[in-house]
Structures are given as C-alpha cells and as structure tokens.
Amino acid sequence: MAGDKSAPLWERLERPSPAPRQTLSSQRIATTAVAIADGEGLEAITMRRLAAELGVAPMAPYRYVSGKDDLLELMVDHVYADLRLPRGLDWRESLRTLAVQTRELMLQHRWLAQLSPRAKLSLTPNRMTVAEQALVALDGLDLDADTMMSVFRTVDAYVHGALSYESAVSTVISEQSLSGGDELRDELAPLMMWHMRTGRYPTFQHYLRTATRKDDTSWQFDLGLDCLLDGIATRFGI
Amino acid sequence: MAGDKSAPLWERLERPSPAPRQTLSSQRIATTAVAIADGEGLEAITMRRLAAELGVAPMAPYRYVSGKDDLLELMVDHVYADLRLPRGLDWRESLRTLAVQTRELMLQHRWLAQLSPRAKLSLTPNRMTVAEQALVALDGLDLDADTMMSVFRTVDAYVHGALSYESAVSTVISEQSLSGGDELRDELAPLMMWHMRTGRYPTFQHYLRTATRKDDTSWQFDLGLDCLLDGIATRFGI
DNA sequence: CTCGAACCAGATACGTTGTACACAACGAAG
DNA sequence: CTTCGTTGTGTACAACGTATCTGGTTCGAG
C-alpha cells in the first residue's frame, strides 16, 4: 500500500507516514492469535488472517515464527502462563487444583483440545513449569520417579479427555450459535430418534428419558476427578 | 479425459473402455480412507488423494459423502465396528475390557485422537453400540441414570486423554521415522537440555535421570485405569 | 555526520486444498 | 429406439501455507 508507485505524489504525501518499526513482536502475535482462536475457533487461525488482524502483510509474522506450527506453540505457551498453582497444599489438593484450573483454561481456550500431535507434545516453558509443580506436589511421598510421573499423567489424561469432550460440545454449540445443551440436543434429535427407533439401544434410551443432569458438566467432571484421586490415594497409601 | 472431443477418433478408440459402473461404494470409500489415514496420518486424507487411491475423479466420492466431514464420520464408524465387548462380565471387567480395546483401537488408528469437535460428537451406529454396551454393564447396580453415564464417560475420558498423549508420541515418532521413545528423546534432547540449564525444573530433572519405565506405556495406562476403577468401585460401593 | 550492514515488512507467486456446477456416459424401463 | 435417473468427469474458483525477492528503516562504527 505504502509502496504503491502508481499513486500520485500528492496522494502519497497525504498518507500517514510509514508505521514505526517494530510493529510486531512475539507477544503481540501471540495475544492476537489467541484472541482470534478464542473468538472464532482454531480454524479461523490463518497466517493471512493473523497478519490482517495485526495490520500487516501476510508474510510479516514469519519473521517471528517459522511457520504455523511455531505459531501454535507460541499460543499454547502464552495461555499456559495463566496457570498458577498456589503453594502449601498437600499432593491431593495440588493435583485437584491443577486439574480444575486446567479445565478452566481449556474451557476458556477451547482450541487447546484440538492441537496437532506436534503441538500436544511441545515442551514450552510454561508447560514445563506446570509439570514441575505437579511433580513437586508429589515429592516426598516415597513414590519412585516413574510412579510420580504416572500419577501426574493419569490425572492429566483424565482432564484432557474430559475436556476433549466438554469443549467439543461447547465448540459445536458456539459454531451453530445455539444457546446450550438443550438446543444442541434439539438439533441432534432427528438423528437420535432415528437411532432409537432401531430399538438397539434400550438402556441408552432409558438414560435419555430419566437423566436430569445431562448438562451439569462441572458435577460430572468433579465426580470423575474425585473417583480418580480416591483411587490414587488408596493404591499408594498416601 | 474420456470426454475429450478434440482428440482424434483413433486415439479415443485406443483408450480403455470406461470403467464399469458402481465402482464406488461407501464401504470402499471408508476402507480406502482408513487405509490412507492409518498409513500416512490424518493430514494425508485429501479428497483428491482419496479419489486417486480409488482410481476415480476428484469429485466422484462426493456422490457418497457430502463433504470431508462426512467422510471422517464414515471412517470413525467403520473402525468402531471392530470393538466387540464380550458378554457375561461384571461391570468392572466390562469397563476395563472396553477401555483396553479402545486403547488398542486408537493405537491402530492414531488419527482417532485428532478428530474435529464435530467428528468427536458424531453419533454413528457403532459408537452408539459401544455406549449401549457400557450402560448395560452398569445396569442393575442401583445407580441412577446420571451416575451411570457419568461413570462411563469418566472412564472414556481417561482413555481418550491417555491416548491423546500416547498416540501423539507415536504419531511424531512415525512422522520423523524414528525408531522409538529413545530416539524421540534424542531428538528433543537439545531443547530439554536448554530447559534444564535454566535450573527451574529440578524435580523434573530428577525424574529424567532416575526413571526407568519412561516408555512402558501399557504399564502407565493400566496403572491409571486401575486407580480409576478402584475409586469408582469404592465410591459407589459396587 | 556519514555510510553500510542488519533488520523488518511488503509484494508477488506457486502449488495444494475443499467443493460448486455443468456435463457426459451408462443401465434399465417404456 | 428413446427416455430418464444414476453415477462419474471436467473445469473452475477462492482460500490456504509459504518460498523468494525487493525496498525501506534503524543503528553502530568510522
């Protein structure tokens, strides 16, 4: 735009002077990208879209991230900075808090559940910190290193699995501009009816008719989490 | 190609006769797509690639699936047909078997862990069957409908979370043609060293030095699963 | 104060993707 | 033989990630 040689000199003089340098930074790229993904989902993340949002040419962000994969890693690290584990809790309270906070993080940034295998394994500073804190919470309980890590990863697996589902529901609801679980079920009703008419799923059908907490996702999450922590506590006598 | 009117008659006569009709079917499309995804990952699934593999024009499969989303659903249902839950087990053995079989399924089809939110929620016949069987296994234990579903989903969440990680590792290993966890760690070593040199992760570092079962993924999976089932059993007295 | 190198963003372009749409070849029915 | 519904083909387009080249800006060394 600023280098448009075909424009008359006088028009060019009218234009605002070129933006001061250093308009971009990893920070700004990360926050902008996260804002896009939070608002419109992971598929709205496009190098071109990001550049447009930054007010910059499509290729400009490539100075700061080597490609889209890099961008995703940057975003992940950026949001994980919000996880803060309070000190002075016992192992169970620590893991529980971590789980609940991770849930909140993943509900706020639903795209976290859709990362590529690469991005899932990315060793970013803020994720390392989370792992360290979890391991610290499990230290001094006479568990060997493998067991400590396994306990942490088990809780982490439950959280990620639960939120994979929870955030998928939430994503579909928002993609279709529905108001909640009820409207989603309305949307799915024809298909569900079709399945039920086959008569192959009587127990499922009974659930559909009698359940009353279908959308109480916090209750479901907490219930599962507490079962898991119970099991861990008794198995290792801690 | 076959309809190229500008070609000389003789050339047209040389061409192989048009393929017999009904070369395509949902079945053939599903198995072909699954084969591609199993061998080369989810990103290798392209409508054009699929068509090429089927020996057909790029738009041909659209007669059978309305788009890529549909194709993914078809693939999911196709592979879930392999889950067979033996009868006559108690609730715990049932859930355990289901979990282990789901793990095997997801290890065999690593792309299952990378599905879009839409595909994750897809209500396909074979997935309905799995849910039904799980609920049947939990029936008659004096649990209310919400709790039954919650227990099933808790176990399912753990399995999916564990395999989200496990299959991400496996996917990266195969993408980079590494031989296993050791080579993956070699690859990541420089980055890990960098983190460790910051001195911020002493407990993690201790784990890295002393752990001996880093790649014993079955042990980790079973351990977590048994903890979870223990917790469920004691909490509900079943 | 000048000059050159290092840095930063812009412009252009290529190959690949999902898919809309119009058309053509076939099998069967009249 | 004609007609028609079904099934696969051909062409086309907008949007994507990103390689590469170009030009303007900044800053430190002389």
Per-domain boundaries in chain B:
9-78, 87-236
Token pair listed for A24? 């971009």
Mean pLDDT score across all residues of chain A = 92
Give the integer Cα–Cα distance in Å for A44 and A50. 9
Q: Averaged over B22-38, what is the pLDDT?
A: 95
Chain B segment 190-229 residues within 8 A of A by beta carbon are 191-192, 195, 200-204, 206-207, 210-214, 216, 219-220, 223-224, 226-229
**What whole-number distance in Å separates Cα of residue B65 and Cα of residue B157?**
29
Q: How far apart are CA B103 and CA B91, in angstroms?
A: 18
Confidence category of residue A170, pLDDT binned at 50, 70, 90: very high
Give the gap in angstroms from C-alpha A59 to the nearest C-alpha of chain B.
23
pLDDT score at B159: 98
Query: Please, what sign has the CA dihedral across residues B160, A80, B220, B171?
Result: positive
Tens-digit pLDDT profile for residues B140-192: 999 999 999 999 999 999 999 999 999 999 999 999 999 999 999 999 999 99
What CATH number belongs to B9-78? 1.10.10.60
Taking the C-alpha atoms of residue B133 and residue B213, their distance in angstroms, rounded to an integer, is 34
Fold of B87-236: Tetracycline Repressor; domain 2 (1.10.357)
User: Does the domain made of A11-78 have the CATH classification 1.10.10.60?
Assistant: yes
User: Is the model's pLDDT at B136 over the cut of 50?
Assistant: yes
**B53, two tokens:** 């593999």
Neighbours of B118 (CB within 10 A): 14
Q: Mutation target for A interface from B207, B212, B215, B218: give the one with most A CBs within 10 A.
A: B207
Percent of chain B at pLDDT exceeding 90: 89
Topology of domain A85-180+215-236 in CATH is: Tetracycline Repressor; domain 2 (1.10.357)
DSSP labels, A77-126: HHHHTT--PPSS--HHHHHHHHHHHHHHHHHHSGGGGG--HHHHH---HH
Q: Locate the chain B residue with the closest alpha carbon to A167.
A: B117
Q: What is the distance between the alpha carbons of residues B195 and B198, in angstroms, rounded to a whole number?
A: 6
CA A86/CA B4 separation, integer angstroms: 72
Percent of chain A with pLDDT over 70: 91
Is B21 in a helix, a strand, or coil? coil
Nearest in space to B128 (alpha carbons), one of A215, A163, A202, A168: A202
Per-chain mean pLDDT for chain B: 92
**Cα B15 versus chain centre, distance:** 41
Residue B188 CA to residue A211 CA, distance in Å, equals 47
Q: Which two tokens stand for residue A189?
A: 């009703």
Question: Which range among A20-24, A150-154, B98-102, B156-160 shows the weakest confidence by mean pLDDT?
Answer: A20-24
Contact A168 B117 (CB under 8 A): yes
For B200-220, the pLDDT digits (tens) are: 999 999 999 999 999 999 999
Whole-number Cα distances in Å, A166 to A5, B148, B212: 53, 18, 34
- In whole angstroms, what separates CA A188 from the centre of its chain? 25
Chains A & B: contacts with CB separation below 8 Å: 212
